[in-house]
Amino acid sequence: MAWGSTGATVVTSKESSSSILFALNGTTPIRQYECVLTTEIRGLDETTAKGKVPDGSTTAIVDNTVQTTYYTNGLGDGAVYSFTATTGTKTIWSASRVDETNQWVATKKEYTYCTSAIGNAWGTTKLDTDGEQVSLSQNGTSHVVSIDKSSSHVFTFYNYTLVSTVLTTVTEIRYVDTQAHAETIVNNNTQVASYVRVHTPETTTGPNNQVYPAAFVVREIPYGTEKSASARPVAGAGWTVTVTTKVYGYTGNGWSAYSS
């Protein structure tokens, strides 16, 4: 039997399914729906069947789906949530020989995707774990992530005690748009601290109330500001630069800067 180029179109199946994209106690679940319609065009010759497939082969996929990620921190508990939904259509074409009479069939599977209603609490601008919008820029967004104060004993001369202090601040500059801009921020936040020489009073009273004119002790300790920085890429959020700043100082009764 000679098969032709017209054929007969038959709907062979209709299917639908759903899955939950997001659910939280007290909220209506957001669902993803998928509908599949399968159609066969029967009674075709080989050339016509393959001609139904977009690229002229035996299988092809035409994908017009869109994946959209939604974010929210507006559900009352302060947490940031997200989910990715699919919309649009996807079509899978195939052509196959079905029997010894050289009959060919062109099969089309049409996938349609949609979601249930997504409320106003959801948006498509990415949020970080603090609920802040991820917006890339040359200078990024600065956040202080830790502050630490510490001190250490350096020297005691009679009743004059010298203590070295350091204030350490760690700052993250997030959402820097390019590696070049991140490197510039790193270069602008590199600094070496200096040292200062300090001494006790030039007249010191000993343990038996003796007075020692011009008797003093000199010590050299870190002083000033020290900065170091590093940059790392963050998936979907540009670059993050971490800046560590240490401010050195000193305390102690009777100690003062020394100049020789």
Which tens digits make up the pLDDT trace of 9-19? Answer: 999 999 999 99
pLDDT of residue 59: 87
Backbone angles phi, psi at 52, to 5 degrees: -75, -25
Q: What is the pLDDT of residues 237-248, one digit of tens each?
A: 899 999 999 999
* pLDDT on residue 58: 83
Q: What is the pTM of this model?
A: 0.57
| 158 or 249, greater pLDDT | 249
| Mean pLDDT in residue range 195-212 | 69
Per residue in 112-130, pLDDT (tens digit) is: 999 998 988 898 888 877 7
User: Does residue 110 surpass a pLDDT of 60?
Assistant: yes
Structure tokens at 94: 């195939």
The pLDDT, as a whole number, for residue 243 is: 97
Query: Residues with Cβ < 8 Å from 114, sequence gap 6 or more?
Result: 33, 87
Residue 2, classified by CB atoms within 10 Å of its CB into exposed (0-12), middle (13-18) or buried (19+), is exposed
Strands 194-199 and 104-115, sheet pairing:
unpaired
> What pLDDT does residue 7 have?
81
Question: How confident is the model at residue 204, as a pLDDT?
Answer: 57
Predicted pLDDT at 212: 59
Question: pLDDT for 76-85, tens place per residue?
Answer: 777 888 999 9
At residue 213, the pLDDT reads 52
Q: 180, 188 in Cβ contact below 8 A? A: no
Tokens for 253, please give them.
């009764």
pLDDT range class, residue 2, cuts 50, 70, 90: low
Give the pair of three-digit tokens for residue 239.
């670059």
Q: No. of H helices and E strands in the chain?
A: 2, 13
* Structure tokens, 26: 């007290």
* Helices within the chain (DSSP H only): 46-52, 179-188
